Amino acid sequence: MDERLQNAAMEGNVDALYLVVAEDPYVLERIDQVPFVTTPLHTAAREGMTYFAKEILNLRPSFAWKRDHIGRSPLHLALEGKHLQERLSPHDLNLEGKYQEVVTWLIKHDSGLVHVKARGMVTPLHYAAQLDDESNLTDFLYVCPLSVEDLTVRSETAVHLALINGSLKAFKVLLGWLQYVNKEEILNWEDEEGNNALHTAVSANQPEAVKLLIGCMKVNKKNGKGLTALDIFNDRQGQDLVDAAVGDILLAAKAKSASQLHCPSLRGSEEASLFENSSRGLSFSARILKSFGLGYRSVDKVPLEVRNVLLVVAILIATATYQAALSPRGGFWQEDSNLQPPATISAISNTTASTIYNTKPFDHLAGNMILGSLGQLLFLTFNSSAFFTSLCLIATLVTGLPFYRIIIRLISLMVFSYYVSILETFDYNERTSVGPLLLIFLLVSFLAAYYITVFLNYQQLKLTWHGRRRNLCLGSFEQPKM
């Protein structure tokens, strides 16, 4: 590479950059033709030269994906420069902000850069987890959620690396994220030695992490060597390499050694137990929604074509059921009335008249449904179930899309209007003894449908704020790409 470009990148001299380009218009193209090379963008990112990095990225966007001789991308080097600067000048916020701006600019340019793998197949997300860089870790997860599934050459996840390196803050960010996006099964992924997150936490002597993982993982699962978490603790305890608090936590969770397990569980049952236990760390609201398949961002696992079909079907069902409720069988009374049936009905047997029964007068109001039979009650019950369910499905499918907050508010208003219309038109007091049950059912369904839409909106707002709060001064990110 032209030495003048290297010097300009190290100094952040934009004028020198354009001077070299003016003299040799193909200088950047020749660099781009080299498979593995340290580009001017690499140098600028490592030195924290934000404006130079922006200029060179504008001239040659492909440089963002170039890797040097050990596979590092400019994003790797920006993280490395930030970490090195924090060690040398931990209180210099200006220098830290300079490197942070380079990182932010790169992932705004292309969120896929979080997937680039350096030596050992280490991605920027893995590197941030190793360095306990919770701010950048949060940003990476927000702009590129699928990066949490990337593995190193040793089959380690970002969770493994955070635990091995004692990065507790990064581990908490990862654990919280996996719970939000309903991917706690990643905690159970094994490295090349068969260790999942709990095995790694015990080996790394991380009692706080062990305590957090106990609530969402199977405690007695064996690793690749046939050892449980308690076996790993006992082995390390003999070498004085583990905190006694780890053993107390495991024993309190009824952990057992491999020799104490009489019947090893089948893999399928282990996974089932994992999914059952993984919701313990979630709130009551999140557990309820997750049990119905409405965990946050579960819809993103569905292909776009299938998602569009589901949305169309849900809208058709909502339209049909809403119209059916407004146009019931038999129609509505057109006017108020006070009907007085005959007081007596006489049966004549020989010359004797006997009274068979007396009936009470009943009123009806204009606008009430004419039919108030049990069949009408069942119709309204099933129709309302279909209506509320379809609206919940629509709210789930649109969450995270542009203007989704407006759509969710409109759905909430539709739920309320449907409830009020049935309440006003169905004569549930006089026509049938089970009419009040319909009122209770409608009230519960209304509250459930309204609660689901509001909760999904709250989750999206919370996650959006969590991902953007570090970058308000630098502009907002794009919507997450799944």
Element (H, E) at 353: strand 352-355
Interior CA angle at 139 toward 94 and 126, to 5°?
100
Asked whether residue 433 falls in the same domain as residue 393, the answer is yes
> Bridge partners of 362?
339
Identify the pLDDT of residue 405. 74
Identify the pLDDT of residue 156. 95
Q: Which of 33, 36, 28 is nearest to 9 (CA)?
A: 28
- The verdict on residue 295 lying in a domain is no
Predicted confidence band at 22 (pLDDT cuts at 50, 70, 90)? Answer: very high
Taking a C-beta distance cutoff of 8 angstroms, is the pair 450, 416 a contact? Answer: yes
pLDDT tens by residue, 298-312: 555 667 777 788 889
The tokens of 427 are what? 């004569």
Q: Across all residues in the chain, what is the average pLDDT?
A: 75
Identify the pLDDT of residue 64. 93
More confident residue, 389 or 164: 164
pLDDT at 111 over 60: yes
Asked whether residue 220 falls in the same domain as residue 128, the answer is yes
* Averaged pLDDT for residues 132-144: 90
Asked whether residue 206 falls in the same domain as residue 114, the answer is yes
Taking a C-beta distance cutoff of 8 angstroms, is the pair 255, 219 a contact? Answer: yes
Asked whether residue 199 falls in the same domain as residue 245, the answer is yes
More confident residue, 364 or 204: 204
* Residue linked to tokens 């015990």: 202
* Averaged pLDDT for residues 187-215: 91
CATH number of the domain that residue 208 is part of: 1.25.40.20
Asked whether residue 265 falls in the same domain as residue 309, the answer is no
Q: Which of 239, 165, 238 is nearest to 204 (CA)?
A: 165
- The verdict on residue 348 lying in a domain is no
**Which range has the worst mean pLDDT, 95-104, 114-123, 291-300, 310-319?**
291-300
pLDDT at 130 over 80: yes
More confident residue, 224 or 458: 224
Asked whether residue 243 falls in the same domain as residue 330, the answer is no
pLDDT at 296 over 50: no
- The verdict on residue 325 lying in a domain is yes
pLDDT tens by residue, 433-442: 555 666 676 6
- The verdict on residue 154 lying in a domain is yes
Asked whether residue 32 falls in the same domain as residue 142, the answer is yes
- The verdict on residue 366 lying in a domain is no
Phi, psi of 265 (to 5 degrees): -75, 150
Asked whether residue 122 falls in the same domain as residue 267, the answer is yes
Asked whether residue 327 falls in the same domain as residue 205, the answer is no
Asked whether residue 186 falls in the same domain as residue 95, the answer is yes
**Which residues, in sequence order, are CB contacts of 139 under 8 Å at separation 6+?**
103, 104, 107, 467, 470, 471, 477
Asked whether residue 115 falls in the same domain as residue 263, the answer is yes
Structural domain boundaries, residue 35: 3-281
pLDDT tens by residue, 23-58: 999 999 999 999 999 999 999 999 889 899 999 999
- The verdict on residue 29 lying in a domain is yes
Interior CA angle at 120 toward 197 and 267, to 5°?
35
Identify the pLDDT of residue 349. 41
- The count of domains in the chain is 2
The tokens of 474 are what? 């630098």
- Percent of the chain clearing pLDDT 90 (strictly above): 29
Cα–Cα distances in Å, from 244 out to 202, 207, 240, 384?
11, 9, 9, 57
**Sign of the CA dihedral 303, 305, 311, 317?**
negative
> Bridge partners of 346?
355
pLDDT at 116 over 60: yes
pLDDT at 279 over 60: no
Identify the pLDDT of residue 120. 92
pLDDT at 464 over 80: no
DSSP-assigned letter for residue 335? S
The tokens of 138 are what? 């949060």
Taking a C-beta distance cutoff of 8 angstroms, is the pair 477, 108 a contact? Answer: yes
Query: Which of 214, 248, 281 is at the close of a domain?
Result: 281
Asked whether residue 45 falls in the same domain as residue 87, the answer is yes
- The verdict on residue 118 lying in a domain is yes
Identify the pLDDT of residue 267. 40
Identify the pLDDT of residue 152. 94
- The verdict on residue 351 lying in a domain is no
Identify the pLDDT of residue 473. 39
Predicted confidence band at 476 (pLDDT cuts at 50, 70, 90)? Answer: very low
Q: Which of 305, 312, 283, 321 is nearest to 393 (CA)?
A: 312
